[in-house]
Amino acid sequence: MARVFSGIQPTGDKHLGNYLGAIRHWVATQDADDALYCVVDLHAMTLPYDPAELADRTRRTAALLLAAGLDPQRCTLFVQSHVPAHTELTWILNCVATFGELRRMTQFKEKSAGQESVSVGLFDYPVLMAADILAYDAERVPVGDDQRQHLELARDLAVRFNHRFGPTLVVPEPAIPPVAARIMDLATPTAKMSTSAESPQGTIGLLDPPELVTKRLRSAVTDSATDVRFDPDTKPGISNLLQILAATTDRPLPDVEAEYAGVGYGTLKQTVADAVVAFLAPLQRRYRELADDPAHLDAALGAGAEKAEAITTKVLARVRQAVGLLPRA
Ligand code: TYM
């Protein structure tokens, strides 16, 4: 069984991109892998946020993961700040990472652009992410395409660490799905679907009511031609709809493309809307049940943190020794 690790931020309402690019693959492989999934609350502190809301968002994100099908009996689900090794390893990796390589991170450049004041936490975000992964000896990291560069950094840091201090850390492999790794914004299909999009028109929240899902998909921006074909460069809107349809109905993309080749854009949009609504219904039902029982959720997260910590205790002991820290008597 491969050790697998991935994380999700408790920011905003999670959307269809998060689900199709990441969460559904977590659910699908939880039996085949030794899998750990983490709600990364410390990452959510790197941009301005409301402290009164963070704990609730963290809980709600965990409930969403359970509603999507993660089962705490089959995988380890926990909250990042409950396991102190993440921050400890971040410091140690900070002394391996360079200013230059962090400055080149695309997400840092995007998120810091035009901001008057940028926190050191935002700059250090990818090192905390590397620590998340490396603290568990994770071999595989299932993520969407937007995390590719961060994963590359985690690999570079592990390789550099091992070169400098001797073989200590496992070098992780990214696992990026072949279809739906980058779901695009419905209103601006050249940009990825994201909670931080300027307008919510192009985003489908996993908890959005059916009418809203249908409205947004029916008004998805397409192009001025009439042919339904998968070609992300010239037909980003249509290609995005085809990917959403393939992923939500669990069919190969070429089959879906062939079936809808002669159909009008309006029909395609309505078909995708129906598929997404049907796909989200059971998740939304389970979410409502889980959100009603926070004590049960907190207990599951507590047990998850204990299982997670048992792993990091061993890895961190190895790391401390490798970097030459004096053991506590
Ligand atoms: P986050 O919370 O932004 O997103 C969670 C997962 O959803 C994927 N994703 C998408 N996939 C397809 N299409 C989209 N439009 C789309 N938008 C988001 C992301 O790639 C991600 O897999 N930095 C990470 C969280 C993190 C993490 C980690 C991940 C922290 N530590 C360690 C893996 C390992 C993030 O912000 O994800």
CA atoms within 13 A on the CB side of 53: 11
Task: Please tell me if the CB atom of residue 65 comes closer than 6 angstroms to any atom of ligand 1.
Answer: no
Mutation probe of ligand 1 site: the residue of 23, 40, 111, 152 with most atoms within 8 A of C-beta: 40
Q: Is the pLDDT of residue 197 over 90?
A: no
Task: Please tell me if the CB atom of residue 68 comes closer than 6 angstroms to any atom of ligand 1.
Answer: no
In contact, 286 and 67? CB cutoff 8 Å: yes
180 Cα nearest atom in ligand 1: 12
* Residue 73 Cα to ligand 1 middle (Å): 23
- Pick from 29, 22, 27: nearest CA to 7: 22
Tokens found for residue 143: 């993520």
The dihedral region occupied by 306, where left means phi > 0, alpha psi between -120 and 50, and beta the remainder, is alpha
Task: Please tell me if the CB atom of residue 238 comes closer than 6 angstroms to any atom of ligand 1.
Answer: no
Q: Biggest alpha carbon distance in the chain?
A: 74
Eight-class DSSP state of 22 = I
Task: Please tell me if the CB atom of residue 6 comes closer than 6 angstroms to any atom of ligand 1.
Answer: yes
Name which residue sits closest to atom 37 of ligand 1, judged by CA: 8
Name which residue sits closest to atom 18 of ligand 1, judged by CA: 18
Instruction: Compute the distance between CA of residue 65 and CA of residue 57 in angstroms, rounded to an integer.
Output: 12
Percent of the chain with pLDDT over 70: 100
Q: What is the pLDDT of residues 269-311, one digit of tens each?
A: 999 999 999 999 999 999 999 988 999 999 999 999 999 999 9
Mutation probe of ligand 1 site: the residue of 147, 190, 239 with most atoms within 8 A of C-beta: 147
In contact, 298 and 58? CB cutoff 8 Å: no
CA atoms within 13 A on the CB side of 80: 30
Whole-number pLDDT of residue 270: 97
146 Cα nearest atom in ligand 1: 20
- Pick from 64, 120, 131: nearest CA to 96: 131
Task: Please tell me if the CB atom of residue 304 comes closer than 6 angstroms to any atom of ligand 1.
Answer: no
What is the arithmetic mean of pLDDT over 139-165? 98
Q: How confident is the model at residue 195 (pLDDT cuts 50, 70, 90)?
A: confident
Q: Is the pLDDT of residue 131 over 90?
A: yes
Task: Please tell me if the CB atom of residue 139 comes closer than 6 angstroms to any atom of ligand 1.
Answer: no
Q: What is the pLDDT of residues 231-278, one digit of tens each?
A: 999 999 999 999 999 999 999 999 999 999 989 999 999 999 999 999
What is the arithmetic mean of pLDDT over 319-328? 97
**What is the secondary structure of 223-236 as a DSSP string?**
-SS------TTT-H
Whole-number pLDDT of residue 173: 98
Tokens 């962090």, located at residue? 102
Instruction: Compute the distance between CA of residue 216 and CA of residue 222 in angstroms, rounded to an integer.
Output: 12
If one counts every other C-beta atom within 10 angstroms of the C-beta of residue 278, the result is 12
If one counts every other C-beta atom within 10 angstroms of the C-beta of residue 174, the result is 17
Dihedral (CA of 78, 83, 87, 90) sign: negative
* Residues 6 or more apart in contact with residue 228 via CB below 8 angstroms: 238, 242, 257, 260, 261, 262, 263, 265, 268
Q: Is 252 exposed, middle or buried (0-12, 13-18, 19+ CB in 10 A)?
A: exposed
* Residue 179 Cα to ligand 1 middle (Å): 15
- Pick from 66, 16, 7: nearest CA to 247: 16
142 Cα nearest atom in ligand 1: 22
Mean per-residue pLDDT of the chain:
96
* Residues 6 or more apart in contact with residue 81 via CB below 8 angstroms: 41, 42
Whole-number pLDDT of residue 272: 98
Whole-number pLDDT of residue 82: 98
**Is 43 strand, coil or helix?**
helix
* Residue 50 Cα to ligand 1 middle (Å): 21
Q: Please, what is the end-to-end C-alpha distance for the chain in angstroms? A: 35
Whole-number pLDDT of residue 11: 87
* Strand 34-39, strand 3-8: pairing: parallel
Eight-class DSSP state of 10 = -
Q: What is the pLDDT of residues 85-124, one digit of tens each?
A: 999 999 999 999 999 999 999 999 999 999 889 999 999 9
Q: Which residues pair with 141 in a beta bridge?
A: 174
